[in-house]
């Protein structure tokens, strides 16, 4: 997952950064938890505030040891004032508007605000505490208000419009032309053409949505924290030792030395649902997981959802669109809601059919074991794991023994070396916000440094669930040779001291996915920050991440890097074959689970008016109309669907499936070359995808890499959904 949406441009970064509240969570233990001043303290700290000074650190990385919560508000206020002055200078320039004195200057503006915002919003997602959350609730509407004032600045827009209208009569580079068209379009989509009451109302809506999405993300985190499944020794039947060790470590961290704790982090609750023989405890864990944000308590998100959906619909219509989905997708690769829905429905029917076959296998096994109850959602993973072992002789616990975190990190670096000539040197002199974070200097094949890569792999109570990529700085050349500082987050169970960090095969795939996003940021080679790296629509940004997933699944990679954590023996050929044979098992379940969420997302955002909205009833109505099996729920129920209600994926959750068309078809280029590291194919992947940012039309970029337009055949084949 990528945490921030495609920014409107650097001048509109506030909207983008406010969305980072859905993206991450890390633990800045001392600085944040021990801060002693209120979030409203705006006293002068010009000497002690690190945001008011140059950062004398390697690569200009944030000096986390110096940063305290009290520094943020003064830094934000000063940076916003500075940014406003820069924009006013551009807007009030008496000279004839041209690219250099208008768009290039806009790209250079706001750099100080970008610096403080990237640090702050990454920390609120990884080191969250009450003080940071309070500050975030204060800052989000301020940032949106600041962004609105820029995007609705009539004088500024007139200059942008003048450059846009004369773009074909000037000698712009292709990148400058692309930037001109993108920024003009972003202004129009942000309401620059509105007047009077409509413009004021749009600004009000944006500010309200910003506050609501911030509250949604905080509610989700806080509600998940409130749940704990505390186990005794007698409750551990069926659990693999790795999960027992992780649950024990989690309990010890809470002062429960003789207990075991299962949390609602996916890396904790999912394996529990797979292996626990205690059906009553599986039900309790499943319901806690499924009902995050839906417990009718202080952290309930149902009314927030209603308000967000209503405001988004109103905003879209103010801007001349039928509904929010129409607004979002007019600027995406899909181009229309109809195209996105066509894809979702193309996979839905075969996915449901395959899920029914999987259900039949499960029920046959339940009958053989004498189960005297009906299959329920909290049973599916448990019995599916039994069916997998029965039909494919494949036990997830056996597989996990071959996926150790350090080996998988080495594997992801190895692929980057083979494809793009990159090398990674771990640094111990880079400031960190949490001691578990690791940092590597990234070098190209000529041994030139291209940036830093931060890896934050472990779950904490202060950290948002899930996995994602974000950045402390993006690549650009306009303000000099600015090197990216890229961050990957996961939520693996931290083992006891001295124990290895073992991962499921799915976790290893996720690790590669997020590193694909990271490489998209690290390999960016563009001039203008608004076009840099991952600043592209959702249904294109997932392509680099998802094509990277394929490499860990290749037998030669598994033989080299999937090694038993005790013996260091490579994964045997027989196990590799069993993994491959079982690769499409339970894909009916997985596809229904994912597509159900995407269909509900589209349903919310194709509404043209919202008078009343019962979230539970809405989910049931939408999915019953499509015939969803009752034993499978949405992968993300609405009340914890942070992708769409606290992130940049509203009406765009389909993007993972859209990008899967591209990645499945695209990886076939390596297969057809009979070499998963084929140099010519790798070079095209770099030239047209990883290095290009938003400098090229997305279909043209894909055709440049693949030599033709994509086909859905590989997607259906890889999921086992084709005839």
- Which residues are identified as catalytic? 514
Q: Do the strands 449-458 and 485-492 form a parallel or antiparallel pair, or are they unpaired?
A: parallel
440 near 427, Cβ under 8 Å? yes
Q: Which of 353, 182, 352, 328 is nearest to 655 (CA)?
A: 328
Q: How far apart are CA 25 and CA 23, in angstroms?
A: 7
List, in sequence order, the alpha helices (H) in 39-173: 72-91, 105-108, 111-124, 130-151, 154-165
Q: Which of 69, 51, 85, 86 is nearest to 139 (CA)?
A: 69
String of DSSP letters for 172-213:
--HHHHHHHHHHHHHHHHTTTT--HHHHHHHHHHHHHHHHHH
The two three-digit tokens of residue 659, written as one number: 């990008």
What's the half-sphere exposure (Cβ side, CA atoms, 13 Å) at 135? 29
443 near 425, Cβ under 8 Å? yes
Q: Which of 412, 441, 531 is nearest to 61 (CA)?
A: 441
Q: Which of 611, 558, 566, 500 is nearest to 249 (CA)?
A: 500
Q: Which of 184, 206, 265, 202 is nearest to 19 (CA)?
A: 206
265-302 burial by CB neighbour count: b if 16+ within 10 A, else e?
bbbbbbbbbbbbebeebbeebbebbbbbbbbeeebbbb
SS3 state at 527: coil
- CA distances from residue 483 to 58, 413, 433, 445, 454 in whole angstroms, order as listed: 11, 19, 20, 16, 14
Q: How far apart are CA 525 and CA 686, in angstroms?
A: 10
Neighbours of 565 (CB within 10 A): 18
String of DSSP letters for 219-270:
HHHHHHHH--EEE-GGG-TT--HHHHHHHHHHHHHTT-TT-EEE-SSHHHHH
Residue 487 β-bridge partners = 454, 470
List of residues 6+ apart from 664 with CB closer than 8 A: 714, 715, 717, 718
639 near 293, Cβ under 8 Å? yes
- State phi, psi for 384 to the nearest 5 degrees: -65, -35
The two three-digit tokens of residue 629, written as one number: 């099996």
Q: Which of 218, 243, 216 is nearest to 306 (CA)?
A: 216
Q: Which of 522, 508, 495 is nearest to 412 (CA)?
A: 508
Which contacts qualify for 481-485: CB closer than 8 Å, 24 or more apart? Answer: 482/529, 483/59, 483/449, 483/450, 483/451, 483/452, 484/450, 484/451, 484/452, 484/521, 484/522, 484/524, 484/532, 484/533, 485/59, 485/61, 485/451, 485/452, 485/454
Q: How far apart are CA 531 and CA 174, in angstroms?
A: 12
SS3 state at 622: helix
SS3 state at 642: helix
| Chain centroid, CA 11 distance in Å | 22
Q: How far apart are CA 37 and CA 44, in angstroms?
A: 13
SS3 state at 89: helix
């Amino acid at each position: 997952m990528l945490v921030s949406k495609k920014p409107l441009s650097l001048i509109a970064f506030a909207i983008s950064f406010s969305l980072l509240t859905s993206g991450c969570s890390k633990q800045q233990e001392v600085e944040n938890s021990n801060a002693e001043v209120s979030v409203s303290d705006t006293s002068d700290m010009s000497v002690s505030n690190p945001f008011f000074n140059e950062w004398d650190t390697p690569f200009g990385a944030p000096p986390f040891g110096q940063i305290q919560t009290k520094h943020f508000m003064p830094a934000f206020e000063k940076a916003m004032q500075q940014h406003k002055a820069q924009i006013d200078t551009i807007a009030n320039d008496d000279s004839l508007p041209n690219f250099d004195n208008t768009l290039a200057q806009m790209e250079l503006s706001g750099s100080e605000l970008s610096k403080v915002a990237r640090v702050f919003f990454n920390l609120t997602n990884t080191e969250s505490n009450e003080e940071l959350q309070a500050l975030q609730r204060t800052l989000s509407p301020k940032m949106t208000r600041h962004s609105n004032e820029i995007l609705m600045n009539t004088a500024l827009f007139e200059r942008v419009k003048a450059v846009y209208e004369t773009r074909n009569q000037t000698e712009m580079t292709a990148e400058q032309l692309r930037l001109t068209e993108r920024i003009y379009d972003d202004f129009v989509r942000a309401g620059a053409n509105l007047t009077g009451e409509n413009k004021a109302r749009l600004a009000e809506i944006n500010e309200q949505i910003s506050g609501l999405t911030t509250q949604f993300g905080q509610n989700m985190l806080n509600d998940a924290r409130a749940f704990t499944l505390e186990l005794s020794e007698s409750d551990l039947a069926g659990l693999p030792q790795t999960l027992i060790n992780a649950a024990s470590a989690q309990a010890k961290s809470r002062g429960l030395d003789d207990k075991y704790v299962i949390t609602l982090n996916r890396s904790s609750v999912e394996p529990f649902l797979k292996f626990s023989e205690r059906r009553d405890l599986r039900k309790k864990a499943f319901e806690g997981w499924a009902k995050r944000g839906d417990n009718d308590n202080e952290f309930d998100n149902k009314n927030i959802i209603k308000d967000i959906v209503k405001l988004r619909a109103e905003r879209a219509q103010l801007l001349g669109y039928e509904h929010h989905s129409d607004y979002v997708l007019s600027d995406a690769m899909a181009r229309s809601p109809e195209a996105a829905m066509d894809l979702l429905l193309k996979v839905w029917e075969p996915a449901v059919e395959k899920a029914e076959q999987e259900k039949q296998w499960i029920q046959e096994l339940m009958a053989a074991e004498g189960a005297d109850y009906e299959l329920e959602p909290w049973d599916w993973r448990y019995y599916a794991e039994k069916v997998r072992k029965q039909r494919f002789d494949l036990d997830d616990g056996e597989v996990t023994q071959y996926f150790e975190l350090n080996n998988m990190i080495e594997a992801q670096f190895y692929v980057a070396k083979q494809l793009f000539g990159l090398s990674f040197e771990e640094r111990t002199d880079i400031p960190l916000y949490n001691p578990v974070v690791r940092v590597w200097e990234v070098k190209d094949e000529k041994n030139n440094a291209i940036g830093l890569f931060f890896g934050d792999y472990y779950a904490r109570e202060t950290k948002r669930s899930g996995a994602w990529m974000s950045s402390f700085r993006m690549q650009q050349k306009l303000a000099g040779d600015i090197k990216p500082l890229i961050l990957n987050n996961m939520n693996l169970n931290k083992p006891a001291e001295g124990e290895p960090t073992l991962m499921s095969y799915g976790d290893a795939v996720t690790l590669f996915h997020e590193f694909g996003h990271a490489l998209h940021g690290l390999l960016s080679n563009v001039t203008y920050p608004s076009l840099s790296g991952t600043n592209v629509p959702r249904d294109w940004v997932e392509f680099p991440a998802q094509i990277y997933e394929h490499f860990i699944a290749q037998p030669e990679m598994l033989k080299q890097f999937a090694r038993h954590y005790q013996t260091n023996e490579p994964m045997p050929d027989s196990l590799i074959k069993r993994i491959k044979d079982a690769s499409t098992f339970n894909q009916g379940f997985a596809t229904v689970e994912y597509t159900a969420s995407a269909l509900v997302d589209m349903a919310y955002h194709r509404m043209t008016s919202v008078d009343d909205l019962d979230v539970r009833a809405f989910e049931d109505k939408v999915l019953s109309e499509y015939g969803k099996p009752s034993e499978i729920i949405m992968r993300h129920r609405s009340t914890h669907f942070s992708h769409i209600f606290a992130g940049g994926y509203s009406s765009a959750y389909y993007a993972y499936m859209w990008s899967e068309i591209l990645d499945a078809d695209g990886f076939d280029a390596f297969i057809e070359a009979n070499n998963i590291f084929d140099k010519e194919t790798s070079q095209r992947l770099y030239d047209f995808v990883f290095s290009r940012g938003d400098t090229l039309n997305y279909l043209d970029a894909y055709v440049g890499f693949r030599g033709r337009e994509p086909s859905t055949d590989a997607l259906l084949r890889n999921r086992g959904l084709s005839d």
